[in-house]
Amino acid sequence: DAGITQSPRHKVTETGTPVTLRCHQTENHRYMYWYRQDPGHGLRLIHYSYGVKDTDKGEVSDGYSVSRSKTEDFLLTLESATSSQTSVYFCAISAGAPGANVLTFGAGSRLTVL
Amino acid sequence: AQRVTQPEKLLSVFKGAPVELKCNYSYSGSPELFWYVQYSRQRLQLLLRHISRESIKGFTADLNKGETSFHLKKPFAQEEDSAMYYCAHPPRSRSGGYQKVTFGTGTKLQVIP
């Protein structure tokens, strides 16, 4: 559906453990994004990528790292999960061209850190 | 910093009443603005964008550069319009292209039967 999938869709983990969320696209889009969605804060950008091995920080990047070794995959890693990182994480893709900068979202990954 | 502001966290209207979801942006120039919607248990999806000047599901949004606003409007609300609405923009980078896309904090629209 929509050429973008996220895994896992649900995860419960404990404080201090590493967690990796995967975003996979079949659209060959250049740009990929990771957002977190929290009540009262809306969608906040964590990291984004504008090409293979090209990534940059968003507004809430502390505690997160990303990697993009292939066009189709964008990984979000929490090196040592904390309770404040309990959230719903959304991956998005876009072609990025002016006038066509529309985001397509994944279904979301709900992470609970106990 | 370039940003968009959605002042209302929750907007409740009765079915059949007009709806206006507010979005203000803080920068000059020619912005590229979007409205996204998230229905219950569905993924976020594009509702409309200002460059297309189209009406989707009865919603319209006009860019008002004088007021730096991009409010979302619908003359008669329907129950199925109940959802979370986000205003979004991809600010220009220093290189001139669009890269990261940032969102407002969202407004939950509740249409009362």
Say yes or no for a CB contact (<8 Å) between B101 and A33.
yes
Confidence at residue A2, expressed as pLDDT on a 0 to 100 scale = 66
DSSP assignment of B12-64, as one string?
EEETTS-EEE--EE---S----EEEEE-TTS--EEEEETTTT--BTTBEE--B
Q: Does A31 touch chain B (CB under 8 A)?
A: yes
Query: Would you say residue B64 has pLDDT above 80?
Result: yes
Measured CA to CA, the distance from residue B70 to residue A17 in angstroms comes to 42
pLDDT in tens, B2-40: 688 999 999 999 999 999 999 998 876 667 889 999 999
Nearest to B101 among A40, A56, A103 (CB): A103
Question: pLDDT category, B92, cuts 50, 70, 90?
Answer: low
Which residues, 6+ apart, have CB-to-CB distance to A43 below 8 Å?
A35, A36, A37, A90, B44, B86, B103, B106
By percentage, how much of chain A surpasses pLDDT 70?
93
Query: Residue B99 and residue A96: Cβ atoms within 8 Å?
Result: yes
Contact A96 B43 (CB under 8 A): no
Tell me the average pLDDT across B60-88: 93
Measured between alpha carbons, how far is residue A79 from residues A18, A20, A62, A114, B6 in Å? 5, 8, 11, 15, 33
The predicted structure's pLDDT at residue A14: 96
Among B32, B36, B106, select the one facing A101 at the smallest CB separation. Answer: B32
Closest C-alpha among A10, A17, A12 to residue A82: A17
What is the model's pLDDT at position A47? 94
- Condensed to tens digits (0 to 9), the pLDDT of residues B38-56 reads 999 889 999 988 777 778 8
Would the CB atoms of A105 and B44 count as touching at under 8 Å? Answer: yes
Beta bridge partners, A74, equal A23
